[in-house]
Amino acid sequence: MRRICAVTPSVRFPVSTTLLRRLAYANIVANVAIVVTGGAVRLTASGLGCPTWPRCTDESYTTTPEMGVHGVIEFGNRLLTFAVGVIALAVLVAVLLHRPRRRGLLPLAVAVFLGIPAQAVIGGITVLTDLNPWVVGLHFLASMVVIAAAYALWRRVKDPDGPAVAVVPAPLRTLAVITTVVSAAVLVIGTWVTGSGPHAGDHGAARNGLDPEAISQVHADAVFLLIGLSVALVFAFRAVGATRAYRAALVLVAVELGQGVIGFVQYFSDLPAILVGAHMLGSCLVLLATLSVLWSTRERRPAATPPAEAAAQSETSVPVPA
């Protein structure tokens, strides 16, 4: 005798795991791209290219020829926000259509999707406050939160649904958490440095009043601490034979060193716009590399079928002649 198990109800247009992974990865890329293009708006002094929000002018939602190239740049970045939102919506729909349903995916997909309009509102506040440097910094940090959620979603799609199991000793897991906290602090202090520097986004925008040299030194000290912690993780992971975590830590150190080189060069060359833009991209990469290290300290195992569910499947199976 053979048994044919009952078929689980499915949606009309199911989404494969491969497609869901690709969409989740595109979600990360899109949110990093909007950070870089937002930096281009500021670095070209186009932050007030559209002087109001949600409209571009008091009479028009779109840019006008009289606004020139700055209006085009600022309005173009606003349009890109819609593109990022479409990708986030596609991911959310894909999560809903994916079968079997995966635990933990929907909250992350919703968080990323809602983060896009939240970002738009914060961006509008930056315009309405004439590019207040503290609000501009908040805008950047909110983007980092959305990127972190997008990364968590991507990793969650790749992981099985079983419980998370530590693959390194508890002290090293704690060290990875501390490194993540320091990495976040470096990003926060970096916004203070930006708010004190010359690239305000508009020639008339105010600065935060902090001494650029002093706050840059604080930022550099935090970076040195982060690199030191990351190097410690490399040696510690290697010592305990945690190969995946070791490789992730090596990548983190490499990204940090590259970001540090860009930071020092831009500081001693009077902050050329192209290097500042590269530094913003590097900030996103440092965040992603840090999260990769944190994720590498544990892994999820495939979920075991509960006894009750296994019994139910056995009862609903249909015997047929061999």
pLDDT (tens digit, 9 = 90+) per residue, 275-317? 888 999 999 999 999 999 999 999 877 766 554 544 444 444 4
Q: What is the DSSP letter of 306?
A: P
Q: By the 8 A CB rule, do 216 and 193 touch? A: yes
Rounded Cα distance between 306 and 309, Å, is 5
Helix (H, G, I), strand (E, B) or coil at 1: coil
Q: Rg for the chain (alpha carbons), in Å?
A: 24
Lowest mean pLDDT among 1-15, 174-188, 222-236: 1-15
**Do the Cβ atoms of 137 and 195 come closer than 8 Å?**
yes
- Number of Cβ within a 10 Å radius of residue 292: 19
Residue 191 structure tokens: 């916004």
Q: Is the dihedral of CA 200, 203, 206, 212 positive or negative?
A: positive
Task: List the alpha helices (DSSP H) in 98-211.
Answer: 105-128, 133-158, 170-196
Q: What pLDDT, on a 0 to 100 scale, did the predictor assign at position 8?
A: 45
Q: Cβ-count burial of 209 within 10 angstroms (0-12 exposed, 13-18 middle, 19+ buried)?
A: exposed
| Confidence label for 321 from pLDDT (cuts 50, 70 and 90) | very low
The answer to whether 200 touches 276, Cβ cutoff 8 Å, is: no
Q: Return the pLDDT at 319.
A: 46
Q: What integer pLDDT is reported at residue 306 of this predicted model?
A: 52
Q: What is the mean pLDDT of the chain?
A: 87
Mean pLDDT of 53-75: 83
Q: Which two tokens stand for residue 181?
A: 């906290």
Strand partners, 166: 298
Phi, psi (5° rounding) for residue 165?
Answer: -120, 130
Distances (CA, A) of 139 to 16, 159, 223, 265: 34, 31, 22, 25
**Does a cis peptide bond (omega within 30 degrees of 0) precede residue 54?**
yes
Mean pLDDT of 205-215: 89
Instruction: Give pLDDT, residue 12.
Output: 62
* The token pair that represents 120 in the structure block: 């738009």
How far is Cα 279 from Cα 260, in angstroms, rounded to an integer? 9
CA distance 208 to 196: 5
pLDDT given for residue 313 in this prediction: 45
pLDDT value at residue 314:
47
Is 289 within 8 Å of 252 (Cβ atoms)? Answer: yes
Nearest Cα residue to 156 out of 106, 226, 100, 221: 106
Q: Which residues contact 316 (CB under 8 A, 6 or more apart)?
A: 5, 6
What is the arithmetic mean of pLDDT over 58-78?
Answer: 84
